[in-house]
Amino acid sequence: MNEMLEQLAEIITNYIDIDPSEIKPDSSLRGDIGMSSLDMINMAVEIEDTFGISLPNNDIINISTVEELMKYIEDNK
């Protein structure tokens, strides 16, 4: 597991009761992980602080997989 995926898994587990090892790049944030839109908006603040990026609510809502989230972070660093 790469470092960004590990960091994201740790952040996600602050909002959803899931084993971090179950979080994979192709995991669907809503379907596989079970995040609500509110969970995702709350998580966005922590992602902004952790990775030093801006993640507007309308962007986080349109991200569907962990891999898309990782790409968004990389593209916006």
Domain CATH for 40: 1.10.1200.10
Look at residue 1 in the predicted model and tell me its pLDDT: 55
pTM of the model: 0.93
Domain count along the chain: 1
Domain with 67, as residue range(s), is 3-75
Q: Do the beta carbons of residue 76 and residue 63 sit within 8 Å?
A: no
Q: How far apart are CA 45 and CA 74, in angstroms?
A: 16
pLDDT in tens, 7-53: 999 999 999 999 999 999 999 999 999 999 999 999 999 999 999 99
Contact of 25 with 5, CB cutoff 8 Å: yes
Do residues 66 and 29 lie in contact, with contact meaning Cβ atoms separated by under 8 Å?
A: yes
Confidence of residue 61 (pLDDT cuts 50, 70, 90): very high
Tokens of 30: 């809503």
